Chain A
Amino acid sequence: MIYIDIIILTLLAVTAVTVARIRDLWAAVMFTGIYSFLGASWMLLLDAPDVAFTEAAVGAGISTVLLLVTLALTSKTEKTSTSVPFVPLLVVIGTGAALIYGTLDMPHFGDPSAPVHTHPNPGFVERSQPDMHGLPNVVTAVLASYRGYDTLGETAVIFTAGIGVLLILRREKKSANTDDSTTEGTA
């Protein structure tokens, strides 16, 4: 089991570095899709099938389509710069070192007594059964019932973003009189 973990994590790291290095934007978008898919695979191993499905559908699916549509409307290659980005590299290494120092106090992977497992009283898992009339999936029960208002707010966010995309792209229609049916479809 741990070998699958290690293979997936190595592939994730390699894919991320490839995305950072590659100049062809089309290839970068494809690698982002691969990255999302590998992330979804690891989520499945981490007992989160709901998140894995969503990540595969949204991260590897919709996000890739949106990026490809944007590429079709803009340009496909990134301008190459000759200077080596020393400052960003230093910032990233510094931040990464600080974060790794922070993980030394974290509960170990899979530790059942970690605070995240004990602190909101886990009785809600049992209680979700009668509350949701025998719905077996606890994730769905929490998302749709206990955090129902939050999910409603999330829908409002999607709605707002959709309106925002439409408004931003509508101005183009007025001024340039181009057909934006493809871009409207992405909203």
Chain B
Amino acid sequence: MTTQHQTLSKALSRGVSYLDITPTMFREATEHYRAIAGTLQSHGLDADIKPYGSFGTGTVVRPSTDEGTGSYYDLDILAECHRDECGWTTPSSLREEVDGILEDDGTYAKMIEGSTHQCVTLAYAETDSRPAFRLDLSSGVHMDLPLGTDVAFAEEAVNLAWIDPDEWKGSNPKGLCKWFNDQNLRFRVYGLEARRKSLFEENPGAYASVEEIPEDMDRSALQRAVQVVKRSRDIYYRRAREDRAPSSCALMVLVTRFAEMLPQSSDVTTIVESFVEGCQAMRDGRFAIPNPAYPEDLAANWEQEKVDRFFNWIDELKLNLQADLSDSAKRDAAIDAILGSGTSDRLVRDKIFDPAPEPVRINRNVKPWRL
């Protein structure tokens, strides 16, 4: 393994950790979604509330609204509702019940930021100890016998209640989390003690001892790699002023799939490189991203322009992974292109990198033109 490879892994792991959920925030978010379950219960609605998406897989990364402060975390939670008798006849009847309980509640009524086709969003304001975050609460009911689903995940399948227009949307977000967490297991056990020790040291005061650190706060190389890829996507599509970015779950599936053949000792760089190579190999074939937990193609709605943009991003990510790290200016530009502006400055402050020369400020006095 080259020095360049090790340096890059260290920089990516540390850099993306700056964008991760903090222990305080994790604790508070967990308390909050449990409190929502309690509120629904107190109004006679029996619901299991579980995190899914990045919150359920430990791959949360701060959105890049301005590549700096002021952005918020989006956390996804699912209320799987139960009713013994006839249940809910329409998706809107279930959504009306869940959304109505929150709207009538003194605490949550003020926090509802909006209600969309898929979910209701609760906003939690920034405090001294943690940044702002939003909980996107989806509602659904258990799905019986989902055809074509791997039996290992069939139990987790749900019919999500979507409104305007009403639709029971078959899905398996919890099953997908379970699949990822199963795949992640072998990466998690490798170097676990060392990572927990360093997490304890990097967050003084957050935990009384290493043993107190919740398992969900540990990040394996695979989880870090998913975070790096998601963040790189956010930065690229923002700079390219392009909205049609691939979804986080599609990226999580691709990163994990391409890591299947890698040894458990693989570091972040190796896993991200294998993702890039794997994606580049898909360039000439039929483009599809099968969901391992539900019979659907996660890229089913991708039009050709979106596919072309995706490969353009993959090429750009590769270019940045291959940047000459011994050239400090190129190093900083590449790290910032992957993880966002200011990341390299923070790595310098944390003594991971030596300072690079200051760049020239580009004036936009003259705009290109052709006769």
Asked if A and B bind, the verdict is no
B residues near A, CB below 8 A?
none
A residues near B, CB below 8 A?
none
